[in-house]
Amino acid sequence: MPHRERYLFVCTNRRADDHPKGSCAQKGSEEIVKKLKAALVARGAAAQVRACTASCLDLCEIGASIVQEPEHVAYGRVTLADVDEIADAAVKGEVVERLVVFGPHAAGRAEG
């Protein structure tokens, strides 16, 4: 399989339920990465864009978190409802600006 044009790294780290930092798996990221993989296949883009599980991206408090490369942006507070929009943008080489918390497209969602 060739190197992909684009990668979506989805944090699926899980901490104990009472851990103060929380974790992305507690916020549904395991289901998010499954749906994202399926969304890319449905768009015929699996050879172009790869969704991968990742360990902690150090964005725990604002998870579920995804990093998109090569755009080098981080998405925060991602839910299952955002997956189709993320897949559509990745296939086009774009980003979902409303979800960006860090990177060139950040709109200040990292606070709170």
- Residue 36 is a binding residue for ligand FES (CB under 6 A): no
- Residue 56 is a binding residue for ligand FES (CB under 6 A): yes
Computed on alpha carbons and rounded to an integer, the radius of gyration of the chain in Å comes to 13
Across the beta sheet with 49-54, the strand order is 49-54, 6-11, 66-69, 73-75, 100-102
- Dump strand ranges (E) for the chain: 6-11, 49-54, 66-69, 73-75, 100-102
Residue of 98, 86, 110, 97 lying closest to 7 (CA atoms): 86
- Residue 66 is a binding residue for ligand FES (CB under 6 A): no
Give the other-Cβ count within 10 Å of 73's Cβ. Answer: 20
- Residue 23 is a binding residue for ligand FES (CB under 6 A): yes
Instruction: Figure out which of the listed residues 6, 9, 11, 32 binds ligand FES, where binding follows CB under 6 A.
Output: 11
Instruction: Figure out which of the listed residues 4, 40, 45, 63 binds ligand FES, where binding follows CB under 6 A.
Output: 63
* Span of 1-9, 30-38, 54-62, 90-98 interacting with ligand FES by CB under 6 A: 54-62
Site size toward ligand FES, by CB under 6 A: 11
Instruction: Figure out which of the listed residues 8, 32, 45, 59 binds ligand FES, where binding follows CB under 6 A.
Output: 59
> Which residues form the interface with ligand FES (CB under 6 A)?
11, 13, 23-24, 56-60, 63, 65
